[in-house]
A and B are shown apart, each in its own frame.
Chain A
């Protein structure tokens, strides 16, 4: 169609100016608006988190970690069958709902360290944020969509194994309905702890990742945030005295989440944390403070970022 000469102004035989019709057209379809833009960004970010729609090498890390996170649950189900049958239920299964978070927390940290920079780094590196912000999408919408997407991805990682254990426990018992209602009691704690952990880890990781377009450094910084603080507060806790020595442990995000999770399930934390004797509400408050702080930093970053 392009390049075709259309003469609209003159009568036959007359020579006059003409206009090239290049075939440009206005968009005539429905304008879906902000909500659809948000949903699209959310869906694409979540898919990108697992490397869906990207080459195979982008899928290796997320799916590898998903398998690693799922592995203890598979072992737990196998053990459940073994302990129920051969050992006659005398030995408690070492992998349970309540200690599943501490079991896989390393994989969750690696996941956010690898995928949070993937999520927000490229848009900054290739200067395409202006393309997002020139649309119906608000700056905050962008940040919120990224957080929600990473939270969803983490929920997949932490809830899928729990669901595996759940199904294993129910199917492994003689009394299906009884086992179902028994295990149903643990579901609120499972969901709430997984959601809190996902929110805290996702917002912290994205708050760090949003500050550099270089994904490698964001990854290292997130890793340092989760692991170096864990070791540093353990050392500080052993050195300091009094209440300060106890509360300094809550500076490390994974400690906070472990305390909170143990409180939800009404179980004991690991030996190192148990010595500090931290109350569950303290863990909840620290987790809330971390998530809120990280989200404020993230919002501030995207308010002022040069698109």
Chain B
């Protein structure tokens, strides 16, 4: 059953004009990596390219592209069903709510992993191939982006069930909470998925080469797992008590 739900969801999410937007988002880091490689910048050492790589991975991929793509896929997983009114057919089927949520998660996370993970891997390979120790950075950031896709994806799928305006709420979270407030109030870092992603990147191979001042890997993984579990539980409970909204 989970396969059926995933199949229907993937048809809803992919293959529309909006996929084009996300394709562009994923292409941008690769394009920048090409510019970087062709620009004749010093590619001999990681230290020399620190500014570029940090900007590419940390500022662009982890901070903007990953949350945005996960947000679009995640909130659309249930959002488009609720908006189109087809959620009734989904709820009328004798399928466990958890199965429905997991099916939706599978597609939202899978699509994010393919797009952003692929983008990270390709951009990393273009920018870093042939650089000593470069492969650790590529692996570290790709692993972190995949983990980030799981955490962000789960949270945003649940958010799509909690509020009708999940996209705005998610944007506010990404931009204001993780962006502005986390830089002003360091305590927020413990409550920011972005920091979990950076912590995982640090543990998975980046280890001090780029990112600085991240959470320890163990707490990043633990907190990330807790967030995923809580989001799945909230999403399932919301779906169990779901009331079909009136068209506005």
Interface residues of A (CB under 8 A from B): 57, 61, 106, 110, 113-114, 212, 214, 216-217, 219-221, 223-224, 227-228, 231-232, 234-236, 238-241
Contacts and interface: CB of A to CB of B under 8 A. Distances in A.
Given A224-B21, A236-B35, A231 B168 contact: no
B68 interface: yes
Chain A contact residues: helix, strand, loop or mixed: helix
Contact of B79 (A216, A224, A236): A216
B28 A239 contact: no
A219 B168 contact: yes
Interface of B: 17-18, 21, 25, 28, 32, 35-36, 39-41, 51-52, 55-56, 59-60, 63-65, 68, 71-72, 75-76, 79, 83, 165-168, 171-172, 175-176, 179-180
26 contacts: A61-B168, A106-B176, A106-B179, A106-B180, A110-B171, A110-B176, A212-B17, A216-B75, A216-B76, A217-B18, A220-B21, A220-B167, A220-B171, A221-B21, A223-B171, A224-B68, A228-B28, A231-B55, A231-B64, A235-B52, A238-B51, A238-B52, A239-B32, A239-B35, A239-B36, A241-B39
Contacts of A106: 175-176, 179-180
B36 A228 contact: no
A45 B25 CA distance: 31
B171 A235 contact: no
Contacts of B65: 228
A238 B75 CA distance: 34
B35 A240 contact: yes
Nearest to A208: B21
A235 B32 contact: yes
A280 B31 CA distance: 29
Given A216-B79, A228-B64, A235 B175 contact: no
Contacts of A214: 18, 83
Contacts of A61: 165, 168
A238 B79 contact: no
Contacts of A235: 32, 52, 55-56, 59-60
Nearest to A248: B35
A239 B167 contact: no
A223 B41 CA distance: 30
A223 B68 contact: yes
Contacts of B39: 239-241
Contacts of B36: 239
A220 B72 contact: yes
Q: Among B39, B52, B75, which residue has the most Cβ atoms of chain A within 10 A?
A: B39
Given A224-B25, A236-B32, A231 B172 contact: no
Residue from the set A61, A228, A240 with the largest chain B CB neighbour count within 10 Å: A228
A217 B21 contact: yes
A113 B64 contact: no
A41 to B, nearest CB: 20
Nearest to B41: A239
B68 to A, nearest CB: 6
Contacts of A220: 21, 68, 71-72, 167, 171
A228 B22 CA distance: 12
A238 B55 contact: yes
Contact of B28 (A113, A217, A232): A232
Contacts of B55: 231, 234-235, 238
B70 to A, nearest CB: 11
Given A217-B18, A232-B28, 6 more contacts: A217-B21, A223-B175, A227-B64, A232-B60, A234-B59, A239-B39
B176 to A, nearest CB: 8
Contacts of B32: 232, 235-236, 239
Contact of A110 (B18, B25, B40, B175): B175
A241 B40 CA distance: 9
Nearest to A217: B18
Nearest to A122: B248
A212 B19 CA distance: 13
A241 B35 CA distance: 11
B85 to A, nearest CB: 13
A232 B39 CA distance: 15
B208 to A, nearest CB: 22
A231 B59 CA distance: 7
A213 to B, nearest CB: 11
Contacts of B68: 220, 223-224, 228
Nearest to A228: B64
Contacts of A227: 64, 175
Contacts of B18: 212, 214, 217
Q: Taking each of B25, B65, B83, B167, which has the highest tally of chain A beta carbons within 10 Å of its own beta carbon?
A: B167
B29 to A, nearest CB: 8
Contacts of B28: 228, 232
Nearest to A61: B168
Contacts of B165: 57, 61
Contacts of A231: 55, 59-60, 63-64
B172 A110 contact: yes
